[in-house]
Amino acid sequence: MTERHVSVENLVKTYPGAAKPSVDDVSFSLPRGEMLALLGPSGCGKTTILRMIAGLVEPSSGAIRLNGREVSGIPVHKRNMGMVFQAYALFPHMTVAENIAFGLEMRGIAKADRAAKVARALDLVKLTGLGDRRTTQLSGGQQQRCAIARSLVIEPELLLLDEPLSNLDAKLRDEMRDEIREIQGRTGVTAIFVTHDQDEALSMADRLAVMSAGRLEQIGTPRQIFDRPETEFVASFIGAGNFLNGRVTGAGEAAVDGFGTLRFVGDAAVGQDVRLMVRPHRLVMGGAANSFTGTVEHIVYRGQILTMTVRSGQTRLQADLHTHAGALPEKGQTVTLGVAPEDVTFIGRAA
Ligand SMILES: Nc1ncnc2c1ncn2[C@@H]1O[C@H](COP(=O)(O)OP(=O)(O)O)[C@@H](O)[C@H]1O
Ligand SMILES: [Mg+2]
Protein backbone atom coordinates (compact mmCIF):
# COMPACT_ATOMS: atom_id res chain seq x y z
CA MET A 1 0.00 0.00 0.00
CA THR A 2 1.21 3.48 -0.75
CA GLU A 3 2.14 5.40 2.31
CA ARG A 4 -0.18 8.26 3.13
CA HIS A 5 2.04 11.22 3.69
CA VAL A 6 -0.69 13.79 4.03
CA SER A 7 -4.34 13.16 4.55
CA VAL A 8 -7.40 15.28 5.02
CA GLU A 9 -10.45 13.57 6.49
CA ASN A 10 -14.01 14.90 6.43
CA LEU A 11 -12.73 18.44 6.59
CA VAL A 12 -15.38 21.13 7.12
CA LYS A 13 -15.04 24.89 7.45
CA THR A 14 -17.95 27.19 8.13
CA TYR A 15 -16.76 30.76 8.62
CA PRO A 16 -18.47 32.65 11.46
CA GLY A 17 -21.84 34.00 10.35
CA ALA A 18 -21.81 32.06 7.05
CA ALA A 19 -25.02 30.28 6.06
CA LYS A 20 -23.26 27.27 4.60
CA PRO A 21 -19.81 25.70 4.81
CA SER A 22 -17.03 26.98 2.52
CA VAL A 23 -15.44 23.53 2.72
CA ASP A 24 -17.93 20.72 3.04
CA ASP A 25 -16.78 17.25 4.09
CA VAL A 26 -13.63 17.01 1.97
CA SER A 27 -11.35 13.96 2.20
CA PHE A 28 -8.24 13.06 0.21
CA SER A 29 -4.71 11.83 0.78
CA LEU A 30 -1.32 12.07 -0.93
CA PRO A 31 1.60 9.66 -0.99
CA ARG A 32 5.07 11.11 -0.35
CA GLY A 33 6.50 13.00 -3.29
CA GLU A 34 3.21 13.57 -5.04
CA MET A 35 2.10 16.88 -6.51
CA LEU A 36 -1.66 17.34 -6.14
CA ALA A 37 -3.59 20.19 -7.76
CA LEU A 38 -6.68 21.53 -6.04
CA LEU A 39 -8.68 22.79 -8.99
CA GLY A 40 -11.99 24.60 -9.15
CA PRO A 41 -13.69 27.92 -9.84
CA SER A 42 -13.11 30.98 -7.69
CA GLY A 43 -14.80 30.70 -4.29
CA CYS A 44 -15.06 26.89 -4.20
CA GLY A 45 -12.91 26.62 -1.06
CA LYS A 46 -9.42 25.84 -2.39
CA THR A 47 -7.54 28.49 -0.41
CA THR A 48 -9.51 27.63 2.73
CA ILE A 49 -8.34 24.01 2.50
CA LEU A 50 -4.73 25.06 1.98
CA ARG A 51 -4.89 27.48 4.91
CA MET A 52 -6.36 24.81 7.16
CA ILE A 53 -3.52 22.45 6.25
CA ALA A 54 -1.00 25.21 6.97
CA GLY A 55 -2.64 25.99 10.30
CA LEU A 56 -3.74 29.50 9.35
CA VAL A 57 -7.45 28.69 9.48
CA GLU A 58 -9.01 26.43 12.10
CA PRO A 59 -11.25 23.68 10.73
CA SER A 60 -14.84 23.49 12.02
CA SER A 61 -14.48 19.71 12.04
CA GLY A 62 -12.48 16.92 10.47
CA ALA A 63 -8.85 15.91 10.67
CA ILE A 64 -5.56 16.71 8.93
CA ARG A 65 -2.76 14.19 9.31
CA LEU A 66 0.91 14.33 8.45
CA ASN A 67 2.58 10.92 8.51
CA GLY A 68 -0.52 9.62 10.23
CA ARG A 69 -0.30 12.19 13.02
CA GLU A 70 -3.14 14.65 13.59
CA VAL A 71 -1.78 18.22 13.30
CA SER A 72 -4.59 20.22 14.91
CA GLY A 73 -2.66 21.07 18.06
CA ILE A 74 0.51 22.05 16.18
CA PRO A 75 0.99 25.79 15.58
CA VAL A 76 1.79 27.16 12.09
CA HIS A 77 5.53 27.61 12.60
CA LYS A 78 5.95 24.08 13.93
CA ARG A 79 4.16 22.35 11.06
CA ASN A 80 7.22 22.71 8.86
CA MET A 81 5.32 23.62 5.73
CA GLY A 82 6.58 25.83 2.95
CA MET A 83 4.08 28.26 1.51
CA VAL A 84 4.08 30.15 -1.77
CA PHE A 85 1.35 32.67 -2.48
CA GLN A 86 0.07 34.49 -5.53
CA ALA A 87 1.54 37.74 -4.22
CA TYR A 88 5.12 36.79 -3.47
CA ALA A 89 5.10 38.29 0.03
CA LEU A 90 8.84 38.94 -0.05
CA PHE A 91 10.37 41.45 2.34
CA PRO A 92 11.23 44.48 0.16
CA HIS A 93 13.86 45.88 2.54
CA MET A 94 15.89 42.66 2.46
CA THR A 95 18.11 41.15 -0.20
CA VAL A 96 17.20 37.96 -2.02
CA ALA A 97 19.56 35.94 0.20
CA GLU A 98 18.21 37.55 3.37
CA ASN A 99 14.66 36.73 2.30
CA ILE A 100 15.59 33.11 1.71
CA ALA A 101 17.58 32.88 4.96
CA PHE A 102 14.73 34.32 7.03
CA GLY A 103 13.04 30.99 7.80
CA LEU A 104 16.40 29.43 8.71
CA GLU A 105 17.18 32.27 11.09
CA MET A 106 13.76 31.84 12.75
CA ARG A 107 14.62 28.18 13.23
CA GLY A 108 17.94 29.03 14.86
CA ILE A 109 20.19 27.58 12.14
CA ALA A 110 23.83 28.74 12.53
CA LYS A 111 25.06 31.44 10.17
CA ALA A 112 27.58 29.29 8.29
CA ASP A 113 24.98 26.58 7.65
CA ARG A 114 22.52 29.24 6.56
CA ALA A 115 24.85 30.55 3.88
CA ALA A 116 25.39 27.07 2.43
CA LYS A 117 21.67 26.28 2.42
CA VAL A 118 20.81 29.63 0.84
CA ALA A 119 23.40 29.09 -1.90
CA ARG A 120 21.92 25.68 -2.66
CA ALA A 121 18.38 27.08 -2.73
CA LEU A 122 19.49 29.85 -5.11
CA ASP A 123 20.99 27.25 -7.44
CA LEU A 124 17.86 25.17 -7.26
CA VAL A 125 15.67 28.01 -8.54
CA LYS A 126 18.29 29.32 -10.98
CA LEU A 127 18.99 32.54 -9.11
CA THR A 128 22.68 31.70 -8.65
CA GLY A 129 24.67 34.88 -8.00
CA LEU A 130 21.62 37.08 -7.40
CA GLY A 131 21.61 36.72 -3.60
CA ASP A 132 22.76 40.29 -3.01
CA ARG A 133 20.06 41.91 -5.13
CA ARG A 134 17.10 43.61 -3.56
CA THR A 135 13.89 41.72 -4.30
CA THR A 136 12.50 44.90 -5.83
CA GLN A 137 15.20 44.63 -8.52
CA LEU A 138 13.94 41.23 -9.63
CA SER A 139 11.46 40.50 -12.43
CA GLY A 140 8.13 38.90 -11.58
CA GLY A 141 9.38 35.44 -12.48
CA GLN A 142 12.55 35.88 -10.43
CA GLN A 143 10.52 37.10 -7.46
CA GLN A 144 8.37 34.00 -7.63
CA ARG A 145 11.49 31.84 -7.84
CA CYS A 146 12.82 33.64 -4.78
CA ALA A 147 9.56 32.90 -2.95
CA ILE A 148 9.86 29.24 -3.91
CA ALA A 149 13.48 29.12 -2.72
CA ARG A 150 12.42 30.70 0.56
CA SER A 151 9.77 28.05 1.09
CA LEU A 152 12.04 25.14 0.12
CA VAL A 153 15.16 26.16 2.04
CA ILE A 154 13.60 24.99 5.31
CA GLU A 155 13.26 21.51 3.77
CA PRO A 156 9.54 21.47 4.42
CA GLU A 157 7.51 18.36 5.05
CA LEU A 158 4.95 19.74 2.64
CA LEU A 159 4.97 22.53 0.05
CA LEU A 160 1.75 24.51 -0.34
CA LEU A 161 1.32 26.79 -3.34
CA ASP A 162 -1.71 29.05 -3.74
CA GLU A 163 -2.18 30.23 -7.35
CA PRO A 164 1.59 30.75 -7.61
CA LEU A 165 1.52 31.70 -11.29
CA SER A 166 -1.48 34.02 -11.42
CA ASN A 167 0.54 37.22 -11.32
CA LEU A 168 2.82 36.26 -14.21
CA ASP A 169 2.21 36.98 -17.88
CA ALA A 170 1.24 34.09 -20.15
CA LYS A 171 4.67 33.25 -21.56
CA LEU A 172 6.42 33.33 -18.20
CA ARG A 173 3.61 31.29 -16.70
CA ASP A 174 4.34 28.44 -19.11
CA GLU A 175 8.05 28.52 -18.29
CA MET A 176 7.39 28.61 -14.56
CA ARG A 177 4.99 25.66 -14.81
CA ASP A 178 7.78 23.49 -16.12
CA GLU A 179 10.21 24.91 -13.65
CA ILE A 180 8.06 24.39 -10.56
CA ARG A 181 7.35 20.85 -11.70
CA GLU A 182 11.03 20.21 -12.20
CA ILE A 183 12.04 21.68 -8.84
CA GLN A 184 9.35 19.64 -7.10
CA GLY A 185 10.51 16.50 -8.87
CA ARG A 186 14.15 17.11 -8.03
CA THR A 187 13.55 17.84 -4.35
CA GLY A 188 10.91 15.11 -4.06
CA VAL A 189 8.86 17.34 -1.78
CA THR A 190 5.18 16.49 -1.41
CA ALA A 191 3.19 19.42 -2.77
CA ILE A 192 -0.36 20.72 -2.99
CA PHE A 193 -1.03 23.60 -5.31
CA VAL A 194 -4.20 25.55 -5.79
CA THR A 195 -5.29 26.79 -9.18
CA HIS A 196 -8.44 27.71 -11.10
CA ASP A 197 -6.60 27.06 -14.38
CA GLN A 198 -7.33 23.63 -15.86
CA ASP A 199 -4.32 23.67 -18.20
CA GLU A 200 -2.03 24.42 -15.31
CA ALA A 201 -3.52 21.60 -13.23
CA LEU A 202 -3.46 19.07 -16.07
CA SER A 203 0.11 19.83 -17.07
CA MET A 204 1.69 20.14 -13.62
CA ALA A 205 0.00 17.71 -11.27
CA ASP A 206 0.33 13.98 -10.66
CA ARG A 207 -3.31 14.04 -9.62
CA LEU A 208 -6.09 16.60 -9.61
CA ALA A 209 -8.73 17.13 -6.96
CA VAL A 210 -11.61 18.96 -8.63
CA MET A 211 -13.84 21.02 -6.36
CA SER A 212 -17.17 22.75 -6.71
CA ALA A 213 -18.98 24.80 -4.05
CA GLY A 214 -16.95 23.46 -1.15
CA ARG A 215 -17.18 19.83 -2.18
CA LEU A 216 -14.71 17.47 -3.76
CA GLU A 217 -16.17 16.28 -7.07
CA GLN A 218 -13.47 13.89 -8.21
CA ILE A 219 -9.83 13.07 -7.63
CA GLY A 220 -7.66 11.34 -10.21
CA THR A 221 -4.80 11.53 -12.68
CA PRO A 222 -5.02 14.15 -15.44
CA ARG A 223 -6.13 11.46 -17.88
CA GLN A 224 -8.76 10.03 -15.55
CA ILE A 225 -10.17 13.50 -14.94
CA PHE A 226 -10.15 14.49 -18.61
CA ASP A 227 -11.23 11.23 -20.22
CA ARG A 228 -13.32 9.68 -17.46
CA PRO A 229 -15.03 12.54 -15.65
CA GLU A 230 -17.53 11.16 -13.17
CA THR A 231 -19.77 14.17 -12.82
CA GLU A 232 -21.17 16.68 -15.24
CA PHE A 233 -19.45 19.46 -13.33
CA VAL A 234 -16.02 17.87 -13.84
CA ALA A 235 -16.76 17.13 -17.49
CA SER A 236 -17.78 20.70 -18.24
CA PHE A 237 -15.23 22.50 -16.04
CA ILE A 238 -12.30 20.68 -17.65
CA GLY A 239 -12.30 20.96 -21.40
CA ALA A 240 -15.33 21.36 -23.62
CA GLY A 241 -17.97 18.69 -24.06
CA ASN A 242 -21.08 17.79 -26.02
CA PHE A 243 -23.58 16.40 -23.52
CA LEU A 244 -26.12 13.92 -24.81
CA ASN A 245 -29.13 12.18 -23.27
CA GLY A 246 -29.74 8.59 -24.19
CA ARG A 247 -31.52 5.44 -23.15
CA VAL A 248 -29.51 2.25 -22.76
CA THR A 249 -30.50 -0.39 -25.31
CA GLY A 250 -27.77 -2.98 -24.69
CA ALA A 251 -24.29 -3.47 -23.21
CA GLY A 252 -22.42 -0.20 -23.90
CA GLU A 253 -25.11 1.02 -26.30
CA ALA A 254 -27.66 3.77 -26.02
CA ALA A 255 -30.27 5.27 -28.28
CA VAL A 256 -29.30 8.93 -28.83
CA ASP A 257 -30.97 11.44 -31.15
CA GLY A 258 -28.93 12.02 -34.28
CA PHE A 259 -26.72 8.95 -33.76
CA GLY A 260 -29.34 6.26 -33.66
CA THR A 261 -27.22 3.90 -31.59
CA LEU A 262 -24.30 5.42 -29.74
CA ARG A 263 -21.70 2.98 -28.43
CA PHE A 264 -19.90 4.04 -25.27
CA VAL A 265 -17.63 2.71 -22.53
CA GLY A 266 -19.32 2.21 -19.18
CA ASP A 267 -21.76 0.08 -17.25
CA ALA A 268 -25.43 0.95 -17.33
CA ALA A 269 -28.56 -1.19 -17.16
CA VAL A 270 -30.79 -1.61 -20.19
CA GLY A 271 -33.63 0.89 -20.10
CA GLN A 272 -31.71 3.38 -17.96
CA ASP A 273 -31.65 7.04 -19.00
CA VAL A 274 -28.02 8.15 -19.25
CA ARG A 275 -25.91 11.21 -19.79
CA LEU A 276 -23.03 10.83 -22.24
CA MET A 277 -20.31 13.23 -23.30
CA VAL A 278 -18.18 13.62 -26.42
CA ARG A 279 -15.29 16.08 -26.54
CA PRO A 280 -15.38 18.31 -29.66
CA HIS A 281 -11.84 17.36 -30.69
CA ARG A 282 -12.57 13.63 -30.53
CA LEU A 283 -15.05 13.91 -33.41
CA VAL A 284 -13.68 13.20 -36.86
CA MET A 285 -15.01 13.69 -40.38
CA GLY A 286 -16.58 10.55 -41.82
CA GLY A 287 -18.46 7.74 -40.15
CA ALA A 288 -16.91 5.42 -37.59
CA ALA A 289 -18.33 2.98 -35.04
CA ASN A 290 -20.63 5.86 -34.16
CA SER A 291 -21.79 8.25 -36.84
CA PHE A 292 -23.80 11.43 -36.80
CA THR A 293 -25.06 13.01 -40.03
CA GLY A 294 -26.29 16.59 -39.97
CA THR A 295 -26.10 20.09 -41.40
CA VAL A 296 -23.22 22.49 -40.69
CA GLU A 297 -24.91 25.40 -38.93
CA HIS A 298 -21.95 27.45 -37.90
CA ILE A 299 -18.27 27.34 -38.72
CA VAL A 300 -15.19 29.21 -37.53
CA TYR A 301 -11.79 28.77 -39.14
CA ARG A 302 -9.08 29.20 -36.49
CA GLY A 303 -5.94 28.20 -38.36
CA GLN A 304 -4.97 24.89 -36.78
CA ILE A 305 -8.52 24.06 -35.81
CA LEU A 306 -11.89 24.42 -37.48
CA THR A 307 -14.76 24.67 -35.04
CA MET A 308 -18.17 23.84 -36.37
CA THR A 309 -21.66 23.14 -35.11
CA VAL A 310 -23.51 20.32 -36.81
CA ARG A 311 -27.23 19.83 -36.24
CA SER A 312 -29.48 16.85 -36.72
CA GLY A 313 -33.05 17.36 -35.45
CA GLN A 314 -32.79 18.77 -31.94
CA THR A 315 -29.23 17.60 -31.39
CA ARG A 316 -26.27 19.90 -31.99
CA LEU A 317 -22.66 18.77 -31.82
CA GLN A 318 -19.63 20.97 -31.65
CA ALA A 319 -16.67 19.49 -33.52
CA ASP A 320 -13.10 20.81 -33.44
CA LEU A 321 -11.36 19.43 -36.50
CA HIS A 322 -7.72 19.71 -37.47
CA THR A 323 -7.50 21.73 -40.66
CA HIS A 324 -5.59 20.74 -43.78
CA ALA A 325 -4.88 22.45 -47.08
CA GLY A 326 -7.59 20.56 -49.01
CA ALA A 327 -11.32 21.29 -49.20
CA LEU A 328 -12.95 21.92 -45.81
CA PRO A 329 -16.62 21.67 -44.86
CA GLU A 330 -18.78 24.72 -45.44
CA LYS A 331 -21.86 26.16 -43.82
CA GLY A 332 -25.06 24.50 -45.04
CA GLN A 333 -23.28 21.34 -46.14
CA THR A 334 -24.37 17.91 -44.94
CA VAL A 335 -21.54 16.14 -43.14
CA THR A 336 -21.04 12.90 -41.25
CA LEU A 337 -19.04 12.93 -38.02
CA GLY A 338 -17.64 9.86 -36.32
CA VAL A 339 -16.45 9.08 -32.83
CA ALA A 340 -14.85 6.00 -31.29
CA PRO A 341 -16.78 4.30 -28.43
CA GLU A 342 -13.89 4.90 -25.99
CA ASP A 343 -14.24 8.62 -26.71
CA VAL A 344 -17.87 8.60 -25.60
CA THR A 345 -17.82 9.11 -21.84
CA PHE A 346 -20.53 7.80 -19.60
CA ILE A 347 -21.17 10.55 -17.08
CA GLY A 348 -24.00 8.94 -15.19
CA ARG A 349 -27.72 8.74 -14.95
CA ALA A 350 -29.65 11.50 -16.65
CA ALA A 351 -30.85 14.11 -14.15
N1 LIG B 1 -11.97 34.79 6.14
C2 LIG B 1 -13.16 34.51 5.60
N3 LIG B 1 -14.32 34.84 6.22
C4 LIG B 1 -15.53 34.56 5.68
N5 LIG B 1 -15.69 33.93 4.51
C6 LIG B 1 -14.58 33.56 3.84
C7 LIG B 1 -13.26 33.83 4.34
N8 LIG B 1 -12.36 33.36 3.45
C9 LIG B 1 -13.07 32.81 2.44
N10 LIG B 1 -14.40 32.94 2.67
C11 LIG B 1 -15.48 32.43 1.80
O12 LIG B 1 -15.32 31.03 1.65
C13 LIG B 1 -15.56 30.63 0.32
C14 LIG B 1 -14.34 29.92 -0.25
O15 LIG B 1 -13.28 30.86 -0.34
P16 LIG B 1 -11.81 30.44 -0.80
O17 LIG B 1 -11.35 29.32 0.04
O18 LIG B 1 -10.97 31.67 -0.79
O19 LIG B 1 -12.07 29.93 -2.27
P20 LIG B 1 -11.07 29.79 -3.53
O21 LIG B 1 -9.67 29.80 -3.03
O22 LIG B 1 -11.46 28.49 -4.15
O23 LIG B 1 -11.37 30.94 -4.44
C24 LIG B 1 -15.97 31.88 -0.44
O25 LIG B 1 -17.35 31.96 -0.48
C26 LIG B 1 -15.38 33.00 0.42
O27 LIG B 1 -16.15 34.16 0.29
MG1 LIG C 1 -8.11 31.12 -3.55
The ligand 1 atom at the shortest distance from the C-alpha of residue 42 is 23
Position 3 confidence tier, pLDDT thresholds 50, 70, 90: confident
Confidence of residue 2 (pLDDT cuts 50, 70, 90): low
d(CA 330, CA 135): 55
Distance 159 CA to ligand 1 centre (A): 21
CB atoms within 10 A of CB 147: 25
Handedness of CA 174, 177, 180, 186 (dihedral sign): negative
Q: Which numbered atom of ligand 1 lies nearest the CA of 50?
A: 17
CA angle 191, 48, 203 (to 5 degrees): 40
pLDDT number for residue 185: 92
Report the C-alpha dihedral over residues 217, 219, 224, 229, rounded to 10 degrees.
0
DSSP 172: H
Cα(95) to ligand 1 centroid in Å equals: 33
Compute, in angstroms, the gap from residue 289 CA to the centroid of ligand 2: 43
CATH number of 241-349: 2.40.50.140
Q: Which of 14, 26, 48 to mutate to test the pocket of ligand 1 (most atoms within 8 A of CB)?
A: 48
Distance 28 CA to ligand 1 centre (A): 20
The pTM of this model reads 0.90
List, for residues 138-167, the tens digit of each pLDDT value: 988 899 899 999 999 999 999 999 998 888
Average pLDDT, the chain: 93
Q: 158, 190 in Cβ contact below 8 A?
A: yes
Please state the domain extents for the chain: 6-235, 241-349
Q: Whose CA is nearest to atom 11 of ligand 1?
A: 22
**Ligand 1, closest atom to CA 163?**
21
Q: Which of 280, 317, 278, 279 is nearest to 295 (CA)?
A: 317
At the fourth CATH level, the homologous superfamily of domain 6-235 is P-loop containing nucleotide triphosphate hydrolases (3.40.50.300)
- CA of residue 38 to ligand 1 center, whole Å: 14
Please report which confidence band the pLDDT of residue 280 belongs to, taking 50, 70 and 90 as the band edges. Answer: very high
The amino acid at 131: G
Look at residue 140 in the predicted model and tell me its pLDDT. 86
Q: Average pLDDT in the 245-269 region?
A: 94
pLDDT, residue 1, reads 45
- Give the DSSP per-residue string, 261-322: EEE-BS---TT-EEEEEE-GGG-EES--SEEEEEEEEEEEE-SSEEEEEEEETTEEEEEEEE
195-253 confidence digits (pLDDT tens) = 999 999 999 999 999 999 999 999 999 999 999 999 999 999 999 999 999 999 999 99
* Dihedral, CA of residue 280, residue 286, residue 287 and residue 291, to nearest 10: 40
Longest dimension (CA), the chain: 76
The residues that bridge with 80 in the sheet, in sequence order, are: none
Q: CA-CA distances (angstroms) from residue 103 to 19, 114, 118, 151, 155?
A: 38, 10, 11, 8, 10
